């Protein structure tokens, strides 16, 4: 009976060590990547959008990030989406050329 208990205890500690070693430190973990799963059908207010990311997996989409940090995924082939991307790119370029902006 004692051998059985020792074996279970050994397996438990090996499991704990494996999970702990697998996770590593926070700084060694890759950044959490957000993915678009569902797409919004509503047109967003372009003036509130500060950034975007293009995504192809699991679906071809644009993830907009608004001033409050909220991420909204939309279909990339809409006319207003292309206008929003152009506006964000122009805003980024202006900030690079004029750091006090």
Please state whether the peptide bond connecting residue 16 to the residue before it is cis, i.e. omega within 30 degrees of 0.
no
Residue 27 DSSP one-character state: G
Summarised one tens digit per residue, pLDDT across range 29-82 is 455 578 888 899 999 999 999 999 999 877 889 999 999 999 999 999 899 999
Q: What CATH number belongs to 30-97? A: 2.40.50.40
Domains of the chain, by residue range, sit at 30-97
CB 26 within 8 A of CB 41: no
CB 63 within 8 A of CB 52: yes
Residue 36: predicted pLDDT: 87
The span from the CA of 23 to the CA of 26, in Å, is 8
The span from the CA of 55 to the CA of 76, in Å, is 9
What is this structure's pTM? 0.61
């Amino acid at each position: 009976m004692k051998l059985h208990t020792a074996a279970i205890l050994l397996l438990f500690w090996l499991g704990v060590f494996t999970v702990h070693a697998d996770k590593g430190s926070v700084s060694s973990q890759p950044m959490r990547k957000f993915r678009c799963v569902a797409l919004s059908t509503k047109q967003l207010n372009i003036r509130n959008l500060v950034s975007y990311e293009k995504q192809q997996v699991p679906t071809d989409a644009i993830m907009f990030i608004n001033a409050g940090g909220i991420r909204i995924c939309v279909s990339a082939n809409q006319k207003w989406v292309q206008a929003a991307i152009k506006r964000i790119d122009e805003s980024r370029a202006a900030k690079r050329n004029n750091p006090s902006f």
